[in-house]
Amino acid sequence: MTYRLETIRPETKSFSVFCRLSLACVAVWALSSCADSSPRLAKGENGSVMATAPRLTKLSFDEQPIAEATDFGPWAALVSQTEQDNRTLEACIANKEACESADLVRFRRMLELAQGLAPREQLNLVHHYFNTVEWTHDARDTWSTLYHTAYGTTGDCEDIAIAKYQTLRRLGWSADSLRVVIGWDGDEHDWHALLAVRVEGNVLILDSIKGLQSPSLLGNVRLVYSISEQGVWDHAPDFVPVGRKAGQRMASERAARIAATEGPHHKGVYR
């Protein structure tokens, strides 16, 4: 499915950017799964993406954004909700007894373990922790905050990418080294969201399906757009999706695919 990035502030931008929001996208339909087992594309859509969108290896952290991040509705809503959630999350982090769920207690423990680790060790810990998230269908077309995802360890692809982003920010990572990326996965034949991180001069991808990888090992993922606190980047301005009806699939099927890729998860380590 695709997601319209909305008109970017008419007073500053007079054009609409089509952002194809991924994986069960945060968009209205496919959120239960990120990728369909048998996606139904409108004629020419797959070819259009593959022909006009660059490979993930072309991602650069040095490009200028086309707009402020908060000019994009879903991100603005995410920022607003995060501000509301932070007081409760901060209370939990400060005092275990204030945590409102067992999963928040585990998240708190993970943050404690992450403190003082080397950057790549932090990446590994945060990446694998949030890959324990149970895939769920979100019909509300919203991006979940870190608090919401950590509270019940449920969500879809963009929720996982955002949770990793916001957790790394809490651990002191700068916003200019992090990007939530939306693209087309040529292997999964669907939209997908993941987190790109610049560390020690290199770019690494934290992917809920294929693991923590170099972009060169994700050659079939095409860049469409990316976003962070620093702004919005449109990587495929010539790509205009024709739209498609997203196939529905149970979240349990998606979870099984994730488990098969990532292996068993051990939540007990964070107790």
Q: What is the DSSP string of 104-121?
A: HHHHHHHHHHHTT--HHH
| 30, pLDDT greater than 60 | no
The CA distance from 98 to 88, in Å, is: 8
pLDDT of residue 41: 31
Query: Which regions of 71-228 does DSSP assign to beta strands (E)?
Result: 134-135, 154-155, 178-185, 190-199, 202-207, 211-213, 221-228
**Residue 135, pLDDT score:** 77
Condensed to tens digits (0 to 9), the pLDDT of residues 108-146 reads 999 999 998 999 999 999 999 999 888 776 666 689 999
Query: What's residue 53's pLDDT?
Result: 79
Residue 101, pLDDT score: 95
Using an 8 Å Cβ cutoff, are 178 and 228 in contact?
Answer: yes
- pLDDT score of 157: 87
Beta bridge partners of 203: 198
pLDDT at position 12? 40
DSSP-derived pairing of the beta strands 134-135 and 190-199? unpaired
Q: Which residue has the higher pLDDT, 23 or 64?
A: 64
Over residues 32-67, the pLDDT tens digits come to 335 432 233 333 445 566 667 788 888 889 999 999
- Residue 140: what pLDDT? 65
Walk me through the domains of the chain, giving residue ranges and CATH numbers.
3-270 (3.10.620.30)
pLDDT above 70: residue 220: yes
What's the chain's average pLDDT? 75
3-state class of 233 per DSSP?
Answer: strand
Beta-bridged to residue 127, according to DSSP, are none
Share of the chain above pLDDT 70, in %: 67
Per-residue pLDDT reduced to its tens digit, 254-266 = 334 444 544 433 3
Q: What is the pLDDT of residue 237?
A: 79
- In this prediction, residues 221-249 reach a mean pLDDT of 72
Q: What is the pTM of this model?
A: 0.76
